[in-house]
Amino acid sequence: MNFEMLARQHDATDPLASFAQEFHHPQDASGQKLTYLCGHSLGLQAKSVAEYVEQELADWRRLGVLGHHSGTRPWIHYHELAASGLAELVGASATEVVAMNSLTVNLHLMMVSFFRPNGARNSVLIEKSAFPSDRYAIVSQLEFHGLSAAKHLVEVAPRPGEHLLRTSDLVESIEREAPRLGLVLLPGIQYLTGQFLELAPIIATARRNGVTVGIDLAHSIGNNLLQLHDWNADFAVWCHYKYLNAGPGAIGGCFVHQRHTGQNTLPRFSGWWGNELETRFRMAPEFNPAPGADGWQLSNPPILSTAPLLASLGLFQRAGVSRLREKSIALTGYLEFLIQELMPESVEIITPIEPEQRGCQLSLRLKRNSVDASLCQQRLIANGVIGDWREPNILRLAPTPLYNSFSDVWKTATVLAQALQA
């Protein structure tokens, strides 16, 4: 069988194929389109982003401060425009989500409210090899409370010789450690292995044992189908520059479950944008939180870094999350198939094989008989393919359903097969 023909056939029948043309694709020095499989790190720019940003620049030029009320999209309400799209992506109601700050800042704000070391319940459970920023944030919160990582950080690792976390091990660890846990913080997708954790049973276990649970969706939002509300997570945080394509340093996002947003009993760090709208501009000395996740906002939002998010959410809405997921499963399945056909000797796919336990990313561990990952990465770039690599010897490739094609995957696999030759 001709695998390239297969790719063309898939592209010809792909209902989402035209979305690729709605993005700017990076090019090499001679103007050739690069094959971009790096949406797990920084998503591409949609062509509509320029209009959205230019609209705000124009309103600012034309209206100055009056843009807060009289702009095309009045800035007073600007963050609200993201809520329904985000709610759909994470499986929540619009009042449970808010676009604000950036991921690590939101994680700190959430821990202020949700990690309240109390008697014996003063430890945090995370996965071993968690994303460094999350670990730094958690350790600094522990130290802020006079606690230490050595005593109060519980890290669950894969079993010796394994790469992935077993759900049963996570569930058992949470049950065993519960009497001393104040918080469980786990990713949707583990950034290094691409494993999508089975969040429903994990969250249920934490809740059943009276432990607060937060989820980091940095690599999951816009990638997996999520049901944060029904799964009953207490909170979640994420960024929008990966699969949400909102641009470098874009505004981040946050979820607070409805059961916490009705009453005003949780302590929080407050700012004026978290005050309810009716009284915000009375400049009263008392803080009255806005209902829902909005009440955790601090500052008026950065309009220019939120505009690309609105452009992007429009594309997700038009493409439809379930159609995107369907294509994603096929696209990543095709990459997996080609890797196993063309280079079984030189790479091991460490990402789970089951589609429901991964998103679009595949993490490849280069075997000892092939080149090392950084050299492989250099060769990929020299041949027009953008992925990335992480210590130790792991190459990450993420075909995204919004702007990648089956032909992109074919190109990547053939370039990779060559790059791996010693």
Ligand X SMILES: *Cc1c(COP(=O)(O)O)cnc(C)c1O
Which residues of this chain interact with ligand X, rule CB under 6 A? 102-104, 131, 133-134, 187, 191, 216, 218-219, 239, 252
From the CB of 314, what's the least distance to ligand X, in Å?
Answer: 22
From the CB of 41, what's the least distance to ligand X, in Å?
Answer: 8
Q: Quick check: 335 and 110 in contact, CB under 8 A? A: no
Helix (H, G, I), strand (E, B) or coil at 236: strand
Between residues 155 and 326, which has the closer beta carbon with respect to ligand X? 155
Between residues 275 and 361, which has the closer beta carbon with respect to ligand X? 361
From the CB of 220, what's the least distance to ligand X, in Å?
Answer: 9
What angle, rounded to 10 degrees, do the helices at 132-144 and 103-114 form?
40
If one counts every other C-beta atom within 10 angstroms of the C-beta of residue 345, the result is: 8
d(CA 286, CA 225): 40
Between residues 16 and 109, which has the closer beta carbon with respect to ligand X? 109
From the CB of 103, what's the least distance to ligand X, in Å?
Answer: 4
Between residues 261 and 297, which has the closer beta carbon with respect to ligand X? 297
CA distances, 224 to each of 72, 84, 98, 257, 268 (Å): 33, 17, 19, 19, 30
Q: Which of 53, 88, 348, 77 is nearest to 193 (CA)?
A: 348
Between residues 158 and 187, which has the closer beta carbon with respect to ligand X? 187
From the CB of 107, what's the least distance to ligand X, in Å?
Answer: 8
From the CB of 187, what's the least distance to ligand X, in Å?
Answer: 6
From the CB of 93, what's the least distance to ligand X, in Å?
Answer: 24
Q: What is the DSSP string of 64-130?
A: GGGHHHHSSS-GGGTTHHHHHHHHHHHT--GGGEEE-S-HHHHHHHHHHHH---BTTB-EEEEETT-
Q: What is the DSSP string of 71-83?
A: SSS-GGGTTHHHH
Between residues 104 and 332, which has the closer beta carbon with respect to ligand X? 104
Q: Quick check: 372 and 366 in contact, CB under 8 A? A: yes
d(CA 288, CA 183): 27
Between residues 203 and 416, which has the closer beta carbon with respect to ligand X? 203
d(CA 34, CA 40): 16
Between residues 239 and 313, which has the closer beta carbon with respect to ligand X? 239
From the CB of 412, what's the least distance to ligand X, in Å?
Answer: 22
CA distances, 245 to each of 1, 114, 119, 306 (Å): 35, 29, 43, 11
